[in-house]
């Protein structure tokens, strides 16, 4: 399992989204992707590398 932190600097503080990928199956989950413009480049790179985003998890509003 690979966990990538994705920094998001917009807003009132420093926040991170997390891309969790099962290296064997290439299934991936993105956690707390609050700022799409900052998260999309990492997601595109993951998908282009063969990963499949299966779920989006938001832990807060």
2-61 confidence digits (pLDDT tens)? 999 998 877 666 789 999 999 999 999 999 998 888 899 999 999 999 999 999 999 977
Lookup result for tokens 């063969």: 50
Residue 30 confidence (pLDDT): 96
The pLDDT, as a whole number, for residue 50 is: 95
Ranges assigned E (strand) in 1-61: 2-8, 15-21, 27-31, 52-57
* Domain extent listing, the chain: 2-57
pLDDT of residue 13: 67
């Amino acid at each position: 399992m690979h966990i990538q932190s994705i920094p998001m600097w917009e807003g009132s503080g420093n926040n991170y989204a997390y891309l969790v990928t099962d290296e064997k199956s290439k299934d991936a989950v993105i956690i707390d992707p609050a700022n799409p413009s900052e998260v999309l480049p990492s997601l595109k790179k993951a998908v282009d590398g063969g990963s499949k985003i299966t779920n989006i998890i938001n832990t807060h509003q």
